[in-house]
Amino acid sequence: SKSKKKETLLTLQGSICSAPPRPFCRDPAPPRSVAERGISCVLQDGEVFEKAGVNVSVVFGQLSEEAARQMRSRGKVLKATEDGKLPFCAMGVSSVIHPKNPHVPTMHFNYRYFEIEEADGTKQWWFGGGTDLTPTYLNEEDAVHFHKTLKEVCDKHDLKLYPKYKKWCDDYFYIKHRDERRGIGGIFFDDMDSPSKEEVFQFVQSCAKAVVPSYVPIVKKHCHDSYTPEEKLWQQLRRGRYVEFNLVYDRGTKFGLLTPGSRIESILMSLPLTARWEYMNTPPESSKEAEILEVLRNPKDWVH
Amino acid sequence: SKSKKKETLLTLQGSICSAPPRPFCRDPAPPRSVAERGISCVLQDGEVFEKAGVNVSVVFGQLSEEAARQMRSRGKVLKATEDGKLPFCAMGVSSVIHPKNPHVPTMHFNYRYFEIEEADGTKQWWFGGGTDLTPTYLNEEDAVHFHKTLKEVCDKHDLKLYPKYKKWCDDYFYIKHRDERRGIGGIFFDDMDSPSKEEVFQFVQSCAKAVVPSYVPIVKKHCHDSYTPEEKLWQQLRRGRYVEFNLVYDRGTKFGLLTPGSRIESILMSLPLTARWEYMNTPPESSKEAEILEVLRNPKDWVH
């Protein structure tokens, strides 16, 4: 029913807009353990959405050796105490929405704050996050609307941000073994720690507020589109790629899987309800399936 | 039809029994590249099997830095040339069979030979492999038959092998983030390089020959069992776990994804045709679903 759908959207909207908590880690980290608090809201097998989840989480703990290694490998200098301990605190909001209708794209966003206490007591902090779209089929109008909404938010803070974060998004969501991106991108950034915590937090809040206007109009536009069994099948194959990216490459998922005591159901909430893998599925040239693949292989600029 | 099914089984049997090629790498490795030859046979959406593949492959190449790092992390001493090159050759046969009927378990096996040429020209070689079973529901009789067949093969070579390789299998197919094994195990080993190449090769051939008698009787016994939609759903959730193990932990898959030029369709052939992820699915106590989970959390000895 219409009112049910509206209710669903409003609930999601509410969760989405509740944004991250004020990013200061006041609680002391309990030694040698991970304390996690958070709220997960998941809608499953709904009328419009196959699976949609919004997760708010706050984690205090000690960085695992593997997690510290991964952070150092991207250039972080982390001075651990003699016994190798690195207390951290992470908090964020993340969401993945997998619609039923293959003409409604999947949307993901995640905004997070990270703080690490080094051996000498100094604290490193940074923000990261992004919003990105994964359509089963290409709809240029939707792609332009989505990117334009994100660009406007970026431009208000700094004109240099959108081009940089748009490219970062295309680079980050790269499924190397397929030579495909997960979707048509959006914005993505990490390790953002200047000019000041207040300013970066303002920017992150603006990004989070742009999620609903960037995505909900696309859902409303297509959620009643008719589709064929073949289109549903292609969607399922694309869901398989989504699973591949999340389990093989995604930094957040990897961090979660490596952190003892973290809440696995929240971490894997991002996986679709259903997915499919066929051997050697190659869409025919000039098909709608080949059209989206082309864009996933060679990312386009949707707004200038 | 019966004859079609028999044909399918015979074809699979044929492929399975064709075992690895004689394990000596005679071809020179082309510099800075990977040459791969192999045959993949995949049956998809069949009458008995949802997806079944047998893959024979021979790869010559240079170890990627990440692959060398992973090998060193499990204790290998590898002396690279000045420019960091480590020529390798790998060959093997692998197969995953995902049946349609939830009362027929998934079976996987892989037997492989690996050779690395070090900077001083010395060659390191080893064999690895195993056969393991992943049921959706527990059938003790089947579990005993499967393990007994593998134990007999091991016992003929050395009475110490089965207990060691059974435990190795339980340890290897561990999905850490779920605290579950992928299935009820079988045998698994790696880095097997003694007493001699001939003897290890003999053992590996015996293991490969045991695949059909360990598994095919179970397929025949259950492929006509009736099942409910709920049982099919539980199978799909277990398939999700199969995907999680293969993409997050499996050494072969990881090696393949890290090796530039390797054939991605062959590597990901092991993924099921369909899989499912539900948020917070916990089977009720004393259910058939809880019964298999208990065994996946606390592996049992099926034969003594």
For B274, the closest chain A residue by CA position comes to A276
Report the percentage of chain A scoring pLDDT > 90.
62
| Beta-carbon separation of B178 and A280 below 8 A | no
pLDDT (tens digit per residue) in B46-79: 899 999 988 888 888 888 787 788 788 888 888 8
Q: Which of A42-51, A150-159, A191-200, B253-262 has the lowest mean pLDDT?
A: B253-262
Residue A6 has pLDDT above 70, yes or no: no
CA nearest A163: which of A172, A154, A171?
A154
CB-CB contact of B269 with A279 (8 Å): yes
| Mutation for testing the B interface, residue in A277, A278, A280 having most B CBs under 10 Å | A277
Q: What does the pLDDT average to over A70-87?
A: 80
**B74 CB neighbour count, 10 Å cutoff:** 9
pLDDT (tens digit per residue) in A233-242: 999 999 999 9
pLDDT (0 to 100) of residue A37: 60
* Known catalytic membership, residue B108: yes
| Beta-carbon separation of B248 and A243 below 8 A | no
**Rounded Cα gap, residues B239 and B245, in angstroms:** 10
* More confident of the two residues A81 and A292: A292
pLDDT (0 to 100) of residue B67: 78
- b/e map A41-75, b = 16+ CB within 10 Å: bbbbeeebbbbbbbbbbbbbbbbbeebbebbeeee
| Beta-carbon separation of B273 and A278 below 8 A | yes
Cα angle A277, A54, A59 (rounded to 5 degrees) comes to: 105
pLDDT (tens digit per residue) in B179-217: 999 999 999 999 999 999 999 999 999 999 999 999 999
Per-residue CA distances from B240 to A11, A176, A187, A294, B44 (Å): 28, 22, 29, 28, 18
Per-residue CA distances from B220 to B7, B223, B279 (Å): 13, 6, 34
Under DSSP, is residue A192 helix (H, G, I), strand (E, B) or coil?
A: strand
Q: What does the pLDDT average to over A279-293?
A: 96
Q: What does the pLDDT average to over A75-101?
A: 86
**Radius of gyration (C-alpha) of chain A in whole angstroms:** 19
pLDDT (tens digit per residue) in B146-180: 999 999 999 999 999 999 999 999 999 999 999 99
Under DSSP, is residue A37 helix (H, G, I), strand (E, B) or coil?
A: strand
Q: How close are the terminal C-alpha atoms of chain A, in Å? A: 39
**ipTM summary value:** 0.85
* H or E element that contains B3: helix B2-17
**Widest pairwise Cα distance in chain A:** 62
pLDDT (tens digit per residue) in A30-65: 333 445 566 778 888 889 999 998 888 888 888 878
CB-CB contact of B176 with A257 (8 Å): yes
Q: What does the pLDDT average to over B248-252?
A: 90
| Beta-carbon separation of B274 and A274 below 8 A | yes
Q: What does the pLDDT average to over A100-114?
A: 96
For B40, the closest chain A residue by CA position comes to A279
CB-CB contact of A88 with A63 (8 Å): yes
pLDDT (0 to 100) of residue B119: 83
Residue A10 has pLDDT above 90, yes or no: no
pLDDT (0 to 100) of residue B9: 46
Q: What does the pLDDT average to over B5-13?
A: 48
pLDDT (0 to 100) of residue A227: 98
Residue B99 has pLDDT above 70, yes or no: yes
For B264, the closest chain A residue by CA position comes to A177
Residue B239 has pLDDT above 50, yes or no: yes
CA nearest B273: which of A280, A189, A173?
A280
pTM of the predicted protein model: 0.87
A283 CB-near residues (< 8 Å, 6+ apart): A234, A289, A290, A293
Domains and CATH numbers, chain B: 2-297 (3.40.1500.10)
State the smallest CA–CA distance between residue A51 and chain B in angstroms. Answer: 9
Residue B195: asked if its preceding bond is cis (omega within 30°), the reply is yes
A55 CB-near residues (< 8 Å, 6+ apart): A38, A39, A40, A41, A93, A94, A95, A266, A269
Residue A19 has pLDDT above 50, yes or no: no
B248 contacts in chain A (CB < 8 Å): 247-248, 257
**Rounded Cα gap, residues B75 and B97, in angstroms:** 32
CB-CB contact of A239 with A161 (8 Å): no
pLDDT band of A29, cuts 50, 70, 90: very low
Catalytic residues of A: 108
A149 CB-near residues (< 8 Å, 6+ apart): A210, A213, A214
pLDDT (0 to 100) of residue B220: 95
A276 contacts in chain B (CB < 8 Å): 273-275
pLDDT band of B301, cuts 50, 70, 90: very high
pLDDT (tens digit per residue) in B104-148: 999 999 999 999 988 888 889 999 999 999 999 999 999 999 999
pLDDT (tens digit per residue) in B15-37: 554 443 444 544 443 333 445 55
CA atoms in the 13 A half-sphere facing the CB of A68: 18
3-state helix, strand, coil split of chain A in percent (to 5) is 40, 25, 35
**Rounded Cα gap, residues B276 and B105, in angstroms:** 17
Residue A195: asked if its preceding bond is cis (omega within 30°), the reply is yes
pLDDT (0 to 100) of residue A31: 34
pLDDT (tens digit per residue) in A194-248: 999 999 999 999 999 999 999 999 999 999 999 999 999 999 999 999 999 999 9
Which residue type, as a one-letter code, is found at position B200?
V
CA nearest B55: which of B200, B250, B216, B267?
B267
